[in-house]
Amino acid sequence: MGLSAMKSNYFSFTGRAKILHMSWFAFFVTFLVWFNHAPLLVAIQESMGLSDQQIKTLLILNVALTIPARIITGMLVDVYGPRKMYAAMLLVTAGLCFFFALATSFETLALARFMLGFVGAGFVIGIRMISEWYPAKQLGLAEGIYKGMGNVGSAAAAIVLPTLALLFGGEDGWRYATAVTGIIALVYAAIYYFSVTDTPAGSTYFKPNKSGGLEVAKKADFYIYILLNIPMYIAMAVLVWKVTGLGLISDMAANVVYVVLLGIYIFQVSQIYKVNKGIFVKPLPEIQQYKFKQVAILSVAYAVTFGSELAVVSMLPLFFKNTFMIPVALAGIFGACFAITDVLSCPSGGWISDKFGRKYSLVIMLSGAAIGFLAMSQINDEWPIAMAVIVMMMCSFFLGSAAGCVFAVVPLIKRRLTGQIAGLVGAYGNIGAVLFLTVFSLVSYSAFFMTIAGGIVVAVLCSFFLDEPKGTMVEVLPDGSIEEISLH
């Protein structure tokens, strides 16, 4: 693609480019609010007299709800459309943000942070929106730009909010700073709702035939789907275990939560069966089928890419500070470089996937990330710090590119189920983060990086079984006619 073509497609503010830019900014705002507490934790702790354990609890609670939220949001966006869902998500985001800013006790702070985990599901909505507006041959780059630019919201919070809190001054400066992000979300909810449409003029917005679970085509797919949901509950149980370990809930309360999680899983299985019970009589017509193994493989790949990214971003400042004995501020800057690379790496991964094929682009980028983490496991205080930063950023580039490759494939599986598929795959990113952070709490830095490398190698092996999307994706219109969507 020539530079002039790229400019006309991606650097204008008309047509599909307008939808792309407005959607990535909506994602940016949700991440800005979701992580608005992180750079202000010291101020929050001093203002409210919180213990270190209570601060750790806030960090855990902030990601707890995101796993089921991405599944639920995926279902809702397929039914109601991304325009309404993103506007609603931003309104909810604003309300929860104000709730957090006005909290006067730890219990209220904790409840607000737990509920704000739902905001992390906003990512899923834009995946469906972008897929409606871009053709398959440009979809990887467009989704990569959406993901890469939106992720910067957390970095923007880290850079801007501490200064904003200082400008407001006093021990309540953090409240005003976080409230400003809520105002941004509130205003942008209205702007987004009145500025976009779900599809280009004349296009059909395909909806699932049934709600309550992802539709699958065969009995084998049904059983794989049931198994694929189990790690979500394991991850949430691990979060409960970690909170219990901090002494913040009793063993009795934890056991109650475990039973509730088991009950919710059983209920979910019943709902999935209700949606798919027809396939136990006969499989779906071939024209309506899709390969569920694609969803499973991409879920594993996203668990080790975005999951390891979330985990590594959380610990890198500490790693650099303890390894090279540098000031906290400088260690924080080096750590932030890992996430900021997403601005380049996610679109690059999407573009590579568009240009050179979905399957082997993913394999190559995952392989590069595995090698990168093996190299990071060898970093010690004898390394030149510049070399350590270079290795880290190269690793981050391959990792972000691999994540971009994952979401270059997701919208090409089944159009009317894109939200649900994106929700399931996206939830696996948070599952990976929980599991990797649990490993980090038990092992050395080197062993932690080696564990991630091993997980990525597993994903590489799984990716060899991914089928290259080709030909057309078929959808049945409400009147029974067939529409074919090119995958090239």
Q: What is the pLDDT of residue 487?
A: 56
What is the tens place of the pLDDT at every residue in 222-238?
999 999 999 999 988 98
CB atoms < 10 A from the CB of 122, how many?
29
Q: What is the pLDDT of residue 395?
A: 94
Beta bridge partners of 476: 482
Say yes or no: 44 and 66 in one domain: yes
DSSP state of 444: -
CB atoms < 10 A from the CB of 202, how many?
5
What SS3 class is residue 374?
A: helix
**Do the Cβ atoms of 348 and 144 come closer than 8 Å?**
yes
Highest mean pLDDT among 98-102, 141-145, 212-216, 414-418: 98-102
pLDDT, average across residues 188-215:
86
Q: What is the pLDDT of residue 188?
A: 97
pLDDT, average across residues 169-193:
93
Q: 2 falls in which pLDDT band (50, 70, 90)? A: very low
Specify the higher pLDDT residue, 185 or 318.
185
Q: What is the pLDDT of residue 481?
A: 52
Looking at 198, 226, 249, which one is the last position of a domain? Answer: 198
Q: What are phi and psi of 55, to 5 degrees?
A: -65, -45
pLDDT, average across residues 378-396:
92
Q: Output Rg (C-alpha) for the chain, integer angstroms.
A: 22
Asked whether the predicted pLDDT for residue 460 surpasses 50, the reply is yes
Say yes or no: 165 and 227 in one domain: no
Q: What is the pLDDT of residue 201?
A: 84
CATH number reported for the structural domain that contains residue 474 in this entry:
1.20.1250.20
Dist. CA 158–CA 36, nearest whole Å: 8
Q: Indicate the range of 35-44, 117-126, 200-209 predicted with least confidence.
A: 200-209
Say yes or no: 320 and 422 in one domain: yes
Say yes or no: 339 and 375 in one domain: yes
The type of residue at 207 is K
> Which residue matches tokens 């979701």?
34
Q: What is the pLDDT of residue 4?
A: 38
Say yes or no: 228 and 320 in one domain: no
pLDDT, average across residues 83-95:
96
What SS3 class is residue 87?
A: helix
Expressed as residue numbers, the domain containing 331 is: 296-488
Q: 5 falls in which pLDDT band (50, 70, 90)? A: very low
> Which residue matches tokens 């409840």?
111
Say yes or no: 303 and 273 in one domain: no
Residue 25 lies in a domain: yes
Residue 99 lies in a domain: yes
- Mean pLDDT (the chain) is 86
Proportion of the chain in helix, strand, coil states, percent, rounded to 5: 80, 0, 20
Q: What is the pLDDT of residue 27?
A: 95
Residue 485: which H helix or E strand, with range?
strand 482-486
Q: What is the pLDDT of residue 412?
A: 87
Q: What percent of the chain has pLDDT above 70?
A: 94
